[in-house]
Amino acid sequence: MTDEPRHFLEIDDVSTDELGAILDRADEYKRAQHNGEAHEDLDGQTLGMIFQKPSTRTRVSFETGMTQLGGHAVFLGEDDIQLGRGEPLKDTSRTLSRYVDAVMARVFKHENAEVLAEYATVPVVNGLTDDAHPCQTLADLQTIRELEGGFDGVSAAWVGDGNNVAQSFAVGCALTDIDLTVATPEGYGIDDAVVERARELGGNLAVTNDPVEAATDADVIYTDVWISMGQEDERDVRMQAFEGFQVNSELLSYAPDASVMHCLPAHRGEEVTDAVVESDQSVVFDQAENRLHAQKALLSWLLE
């Protein structure tokens, strides 16, 4: 392991070419797994997984992925390690670096992931923070590439909350030249700094408060929950603010050939209807599966 490991805290921590290489490897791993072929490229290596936030897809996909790669994953809940008893993050990071080959952290504050990376001597992967979810974007881009045969000429719409998933997706679209329109209620958009970053990367990013404008003739329509973990006390205000932003059959009438994406878990009947999730246009479970393959590709790329 080098003294200066590569970390993956934001989707643009990799270049466009590096992103393409990771997605190519994800496709290879997907084919291998579906064909029952061994691909133990991380034989004997260990991933430490820090969780401040609960998860289904993140934990299972990383843990299963390490097993399929011939390695091992260790679940480290906040209350299971000294972090929950007040140990500084920098001490946790330096200690774990002596034990494991990489660290994945699913935490609240983005700066916590940055501190872990600053003091680690092994790669640190952002499994989700309040600001970004780059591993989800890897899976999203793999899914879009499978659906569209590439990224050229693809248009996408984000409809709903400008949350961490939206922010990483916006930058990911910029890296791959996907035209993206983000439709959010006023006051719930993605951060101005993220918009600027995406545009500096050459992304064709538009923002609006009109979901119909965003969705019309889109190839992909993406949504996520309106009330994320830690926002439960805002429920009544948010439900009122997001009225009219549901992804439903009426909205899909403006993009009848669009694929519908959602990072899950979905609050059916809120940001998306049950009928849409269960429709032929839904690719939400392809996205969920691709978390496994994309993350395996990322880990093996980081640990080469």
Domains of the chain are 7-133+291-303 (3.40.50.1370), 136-288 (3.40.50.1370)
Query: What letter represents residue 111's amino acid?
Result: E
Give 56-113 pLDDT, tens digit per residue: 999 999 999 999 999 999 999 988 887 767 889 999 999 999 999 999 999 999 999 9
* Token pair of 256 as six digits: 């009848």
Please, what is the average pLDDT of the chain?
A: 96
Residue 55's φ and ψ, nearest 5 degrees, are: -165, 150
Q: Residue 105 forms beta bridges with which residues?
A: 50, 126
pLDDT at position 214 over 90: yes
The whole-angstrom distance between residue 169's C-alpha and the CA centroid of its chain comes to 7
Residue stretches of the annotated binding site for L-ornithine: 164, 224, 228-229
Question: What is the average per-residue pLDDT within 101-128?
Answer: 97
| Residue 174 pLDDT level (bands cut at 50, 70, 90) | very high
DSSP state of 116: H
24-42 pLDDT, tens digit each: 999 999 999 999 999 999 9
Q: Are 295 and 61 in contact (CB under 8 A)?
A: yes
What is the pLDDT at residue 1?
Answer: 44
φ and ψ of 258, to 5 deg: -75, 150
The SS3 assignment for 100 reads coil
**Whole-number pLDDT of residue 84:** 64
Mean pLDDT of 239-264: 98
- In the annotated binding site for carbamoyl phosphate, the residues are 55-58, 82, 106, 133-136, 263-264, 291
- Catalytic site positions: 106, 133, 136, 224, 263, 291
- Predicted confidence at residue 79, as pLDDT, reads 82
- The dihedrals phi and psi of 110, each to the nearest 5 degrees, come to -60, -35
Residues of the binding site: 55-58, 82, 106, 133-136, 164, 224, 228-229, 263-264, 291
Least confident piece of the model among 136-145, 201-210, 226-235, 252-261: 226-235
Share of the chain above pLDDT 90, in %: 92
Q: Is the dihedral of CA 79, 82, 88, 92 positive or negative?
A: negative
Mean pLDDT of 238-256: 98
Dihedral sign, CA of 84, 86, 89, 91? negative
Per-residue pLDDT tens digits for 220-232: 999 999 998 778 8
